[in-house]
Amino acid sequence: MSAPAIDLRAVETVALSIPLAEPLPTSFGVMDARSTLLVGLTDADGRVGWGEVWCNFPTFGALHRARLVQRIVGPLLVEAPSVDPWTIGATLSSRLATLALQTGEFGPLAQVIGGLEMAVWDLAGQVAGEPCYRLLGGLEGRVPAYASGINPTDPAATVRASQAEGYRAFKLKVGFGRERDLANAAAVAGALRPGECFMVDANQAWDAATATAMSEALREHRPVWLEEPLPADAPAADWQRVAGAGLPVAAGENMRGLPAFQAGLEEGWLAVAQPDAGKWGGLAGGLEVARLAFAAGRRFCPHHLGGAVGLHAAAHLLAAAGGDGVLEIDSNDNALRTELVGPLPALQDGCFVLPERPGLGVAPDPAVIDAYRVPT
DSSP string, 311-369: HHHHHHHHHHH-TT--EEEE-S--HHHHTBTBPPPPPBTTEEE---SSBTS----HHHH
| Confidence bin at 148 (pLDDT 50/70/90) | very high
Question: In the predicted model, is pLDDT for residue 179 greater than 90?
Answer: yes
Mean pLDDT computed over 2-28: 87
Instruction: Return the pLDDT at 110.
Output: 97
Overall average pLDDT of the 177-200 stretch: 98
- Per-residue confidence at 192, pLDDT binned at 50, 70, 90? very high
pLDDT on residue 256: 86
Q: How confident is the model at residue 59 (pLDDT cuts 50, 70, 90)?
A: confident
Residue 129 and residue 358 in contact, taking contact as beta carbons nearer than 8 Å = yes
Q: Break the chain into its structural domains and give their ranges.
A: 8-130+366-372, 134-353
* pLDDT value at 13 more than 90: yes
Top-confidence residue, 316 or 2:
316
pLDDT of residue 221: 98
pLDDT at 23 over 80: no
Q: State the average pLDDT over residues 25-30.
A: 70
Which architecture characterizes domain 134-353 according to CATH? Alpha-Beta Barrel (3.20)
Residue 164, pLDDT score = 98
CA–chain centroid gap for 279, Å, is 7
| Fold category of 8-130+366-372 in CATH | Enolase-like; domain 1 (3.30.390)
- What are the DSSP E strand ranges found in the chain? 8-26, 29-43, 48-53, 142-150, 169-173, 197-201, 226-227, 249-251, 270-273, 299-300, 327-330, 351-353
Q: What is the pLDDT of residue 32?
A: 82
Question: Cis bond leading into 58, ω under 30°?
Answer: yes
Domains 8-130+366-372 and 134-353 share a fold: no
Q: Is the pLDDT of residue 31 over 80?
A: no
Residue 39 pLDDT > 80, yes or no? yes
- Of 26-35, 115-124, 314-323, give the lowest mean pLDDT range: 26-35
200: helix, coil or strand? strand
The residue-averaged pLDDT of 266-287 equals 98
**pLDDT-derived band of residue 1, with 50, 70 and 90 as boundaries?**
low
pLDDT of residue 27: 64
- Give residue 21's pLDDT: 76
pLDDT at 176: 95
- pLDDT grade for 56, boundaries at 50, 70 and 90: confident
216-269 tens-digit pLDDT: 999 999 999 999 999 999 999 999 999 999 999 999 999 989 999 999 999 999
pLDDT at 42: 98
Please provide the average confidence, as pLDDT, over all residues in the chain. Answer: 96
Question: What is Dmax (Cα atoms) for the chain?
Answer: 59
Q: Would the pLDDT of 170 be above 80?
A: yes
pLDDT at 287: 98
